Amino acid sequence: MANISEQKHHVVVIGAGFGGLSVVRDLAGADVSITLIDRRNYHLFQPLLYQVAGASLPSAEIAWPVRYLFRHRQDVRTLMAEVQGVDTGSRQVLLKDGARISYDTLVIATGATHAYFGHDDWEKFAPGLKDLDDATTLRGRILSAFENAEKTTDPGLRAAYQTFVIVGGGPTGVELSGTIAELARKTLKNDFRTIDPADTRIMLIEAGQRLLTAFPEPLSEYTRQSLEKLGVEVSFGQPVTACSADGVEYGGQSVPAKTIIWAAGVTASPAAGWLGVEADRAGRVIVGADLALPRHPDIFVIGDTAAVTGQDGKMVPGIAPAAKQEGQYVAKRIKSRLSNDNAAIKPFRYRHQGNLATIGRGLAVVDMGRLTLRGALAWWFWKLIHLYFLIGTRNRLSVAISWIWNHSVGYRGSRIITHASSDKEPAPLDKSGSRD
């Protein structure tokens, strides 16, 4: 592919996650041409990934083709391609296939991937949940575990198949623990003849001292109690020291388990390496108050890829609302530069909109600062907020119907096991990920 040049100011956005889409959307009507690059051809609504993994929702309900989203925007060109570097001197994005994309302004919103704290070899035994492939792989493994338990005659092996270990007590770990508990004790309770799914052991291992550390402590404690009522064993203060095909080790003990899920940490995409700039301990690019690189004002970094310090001195969290706000801010900054009115845009200021997490059917926690909710009211609030942020009326209606059906009947229709998701170990993640 030849170099691509544009007569208009050319904005290249890497990553079609929440941050990247916000930039492109808010540049509508500006005198620019836009190239949006992602190694996937879809935008993913990550907050509901765990429901795909737990067989509550089909994958098509939380992912949308990027080309479709911008089909009426003639100023936007979409490329499904993998980025492997950035030449800041010549202002070009380097693609894996050898192509070079020239830019006037570059926005990097490539998200994060799983962090195994120096034990990357654990990844094939304990896959994480960051993308649609991860979700369908986990769904296949979870469902296949019950199928394998049904057909084995070895009691020890059967127990291992019916043991699920989730590592990490953040929102993803909590939500996965709750959804697997409900899947085992309610959805599948009449489906098998040899095993009793209610005998399933679900373990949530958190190295720290409480769950959901971003939430107030009373909500964390409520979450622990709620999970334990669902039958989840919650462990604190003892990090996992080994993962293998046979199980995990933590606190000096070994637990035989055929399904391990990693939800303990993330690391940023390799954007800092592309740019040759300073990064924090999580690999995030350190940016200024305008979300640009200090020595490269033509390059912005946002979302999980960026280390942004808020006005309160705390790091801006790596969550979807923060990425969207950063994307909106960068679009304003670009437009102000084009109009030579840089003084009109103040430094980025993150507006925290609260934290939400589901625990199980009819159970959730919500922290909105002065307002905190728990239980059924929080659960309905969580659902309404997520329906609001889904793209398109059809998807909102489809997800709402699935939720109502699952809640009232208890049946999860997305319980199909494919050969690829059940028999194969997940391939190593491509560290040039592109997801916020």
Q: Which residues are catalytic?
A: 175
The CA-atom distances, in angstroms, between 268 and each of 35, 149, 198 are 22, 37, 38
Please choose, from the candidates 14, 34, 6, the residue with its C-alpha nearest in 3D space to the C-alpha of residue 334: 34
Report the amino acid identity of residue 176.
Answer: L
Find how far residue 73's CA is from the centre of its chain.
Answer: 27
DSSP 3-state of 11: strand
- Cα maximum dimension of the chain: 74
Q: Look up tokens 């329906």; give the residue.
A: 387
Pairing of strands 63-65, 42-44: antiparallel
Percent helix, strand and coil across the chain, each rounded to 5? Answer: 35, 25, 40
DSSP 3-state of 412: coil
- Long-range Cβ contact pairs of 395-401 (< 8 A, separation 24 or more): 395/61, 395/62, 395/64, 398/61, 399/48, 399/57, 399/61, 399/62
The CA-atom distances, in angstroms, between 181 and each of 39, 227, 376, 382 are 34, 9, 18, 19
